[in-house]
Amino acid sequence: MQEDDARVPNPSMSGRSLVTRQAVMDLVRTATVGSYGVTGFAARPHERLLERLGLAHPGIAVHLGDTVDVELELTVAFGVPVAEVARQVDSAVRYAIRRALARDVGRLTIHVGGLRFGPGGAPPSAIHADPDAIGPRELADSGTDVA
């Protein structure tokens, strides 16, 4: 057998590839759960039941069209900066979609549906507001898309 016969030509072919909504949701889930401060996805009890049956994915909504639009409902660890968690999730999801699909995310909306307390238990019942702390109005005015 000659060396020329061992080579297989690799012609370039144009075509399409299809990606299922489930595959995109898996990408988003992996990127989100691996982000700093995220403890899970927020869901109501009946949504958790549907998730266990494999019929729903609470906390993640993906809309495929001209762009990939993602909406997340998260729970965040108590004591971590929510805006920083949102920035981390935003960056991780956009990177994962861009890397895997070579497409950009059009709109990414992040809702924080609750806080999860660590092994130390719930926070003290009386939390005194710091007058120098950044409040919801300052976050809204900064342009951060956190709901």
Q: Quick check: is 132 in a domain?
A: no
Q: What is the CATH number of the domain that holds 25?
A: 3.30.70.1350
The per-residue pLDDT for 110 is 93
> How many structural domains compose the chain?
1
The per-residue pLDDT for 47 is 67
Q: Quick check: is 5 in a domain?
A: no
Banded model confidence at residue 115, pLDDT cuts 50, 70, 90: confident
Domain limits at 68? Answer: 19-117
Distance CA 129, CA 97 (A): 39
Distance CA 69, CA 63 (A): 5
Q: Quick check: is 128 in a domain?
A: no
Q: What are phi and psi of 55, to 5 degrees?
A: -100, -10
pLDDT, tens only, 15-50 = 666 778 888 999 999 999 999 899 988 877 666 676
pTM assigned to the model: 0.66
Q: Tokens for 87?
A: 């920035």
Residue 87 has pLDDT above 80, yes or no: yes
The per-residue pLDDT for 143 is 58
State whether residue 137 is helix, strand or coil.
Answer: helix
Question: What percentage of the chain has pLDDT greater than the value 70?
Answer: 62
* Helical (H) or strand (E) element with 139: helix 136-141
Residue 8 has pLDDT above 70, yes or no: no
Q: What is the DSSP string of 69-106?
A: EEEEEEEEETTS-HHHHHHHHHHHHHHHHHHHHS--EE
Q: Quick check: is 76 in a domain?
A: yes
Dihedral, CA atoms, 55, 58, 60, 61, nearest 10 degrees?
A: 60
Strands 60-64 and 38-41, sheet pairing: unpaired
Residue pair 108/94 in contact by the 8 Å Cβ criterion: yes
Q: Tokens for 52?
A: 């266990």
The highest-confidence range among 29-43, 50-64, 132-146, by mean pLDDT, is 29-43
Between 103 and 18, name the one with better pLDDT.
Answer: 103
Q: Quick check: is 27 in a domain?
A: yes
